[in-house]
Every structure is written in C-alpha cells, then in structure tokens.
Amino acid sequence: MVGFDDAAVVGLIMALVQLAKESGFPARWAPLLSLALGVAAGIFVVSPGDVVQGILAGVAMGLAAVGLYSGAKNVTKGSEKHG
C-alpha cells in the first residue's frame, strides 16, 4: 500500500526526471522514464519482498509524479496567460 513515506519517493522521481531532462533526455519520453523509475522504486524500495505489489505501487508513484508535474506546469502556464 502506498503511504506517506512513499510520497517522498514521488518527489524524488519528479526530481530525477527533471534532472534527466536538463541533461539532454528528450522531454517527450519523460512520462515513460517516470513510470520506469516508479516501478523500480516500487520493487526495490516499497515492496522488496513482493514483486507484484511493488509493480502496482511503482505504477501509482510514477503516474502520480507525471500528474503532479503536469498539474504544476498547467497552473504556472495558466497564471502567465492571465497575469
């Protein structure tokens, strides 16, 4: 089960994806990278003894990281348009 401790992993995934993009990683592949990092974190950090649970938690964390980034980006772009 994804808990409050795992929310920190979502932030870490977002930071790693942003770092990868700044290092030249194509932005269009960022959601896939986020998902892959989430699954890896789910398997190796969240549920090391249960691969299926780790994959499910990782998918949730990776998608959450993509959604948080997208939401923040939309809010900042919206505020730039409306001053």
CB proximity list for 27: less than 8 A, separation 6 or greater: 21
Global pTM reads 0.80
Q: How many residues does the chain have?
A: 83
Q: What is the pLDDT of residues 51-79, one digit of tens each?
A: 999 999 999 999 999 887 777 676 777 65
- 3-state SS assignment for residue 83: coil
Q: Give the DSSP H/E element, type plus range, for residue 55.
A: helix 51-82
DSSP conformation class of 24: T
Q: What is the pLDDT of residues 10-47, one digit of tens each?
A: 999 999 999 999 999 999 999 999 999 999 999 999 88
Question: Does position 2 have pLDDT exceeding 70, yes or no?
Answer: no
CB proximity list for 61: less than 8 A, separation 6 or greater: 2, 6, 9, 10, 13, 38, 41, 42, 46
